[in-house]
Amino acid sequence: MTCKHEVKECKCSNIPLERKGKGPVDIFFITEFPGKNEMKEKKFLSGAHSKFFREILRVLVEKTGFTYAISSVTRCLSKPGTLIHYSPAVRACLPNLEAEIAKCEPKMLVFMGDLPYSVFSKNNKLPKHGPRVEDGRLQSMMVFGKKYPVMYCQHTTWYQHNESCAVGFLYENIRKAIDFVKHGINPNIPNKFNSVTLHSVKEVRK
């Protein structure tokens, strides 16, 4: 689909929806916006920062047979800082995403980064406890008028720029998402404990 808008800060990439499998997809990945390599390859989450993500998908498809689709909040390459939840480029591109989600009928959405989360979250806010705490947590959210199970993940660049073990977090997140849509296994751990904050070694010793 092509973005039908004129936003001078943006350049539309016209990257097509990527879909693996027939019928309703198990997981629909929504990333933020295309980078230069993605625009060149006409493929979301491609290039050096997403090689490990592609390998994770390959391995898990072989192991579980899950189906997926990948798209983006916006297809526009924008100037740094111009893409926020109410920016013209985001609002103009959302109808494309809405049509793609309706076409794929996903069982679950996975937000790859802050932008898709802030676009669809209540009051357009970022994860309540911060991205690192919310990473991999299952929740429900209204997206284009329909309630979906949603999982927040960091963008692939975050995993790439941190220690090598961080890549394993993304693998586990996607694996847990697959377990949820295929077997109904909820990865959330109920919080039945009273928490306190310790401020000194003396308090810890108590």
Residues 23-70 have pLDDT tens digits of 899 999 999 888 778 888 888 888 778 889 999 999 999 999 999 999
Q: What is the pLDDT of residue 194?
A: 65
Taking 60 as the threshold, does the pLDDT of residue 3 lie above it?
Answer: no
Taking 80 as the threshold, does the pLDDT of residue 78 lie above it?
Answer: no
Would you say the pTM of this structure is higher than 0.85?
no
Taking 70 as the threshold, does the pLDDT of residue 113 lie above it?
Answer: yes
Taking 80 as the threshold, does the pLDDT of residue 95 lie above it?
Answer: yes
Q: What average pLDDT does the segment 119-147 reach? A: 80
Over residues 100-109, the pLDDT tens digits come to: 999 999 999 9
SS3 87: coil
Position with higher pLDDT, 188 vs 29: 29
Q: What is the pLDDT of residue 63?
A: 96
**Amino acid, res. 190:** P
DSSP string, 57-78: HHHHHHHH---EEEEES--EEE
Specify the DSSP element, H or E, that contains 143: strand 138-143
SS3 174: helix
Mean pLDDT: which of 85-94, 117-126, 145-154 is highest? 145-154
Q: Are strands 18-20 and 68-72 parallel, antiparallel or unpaired?
A: antiparallel
What's the mean pLDDT when you consider all of the chain? 82
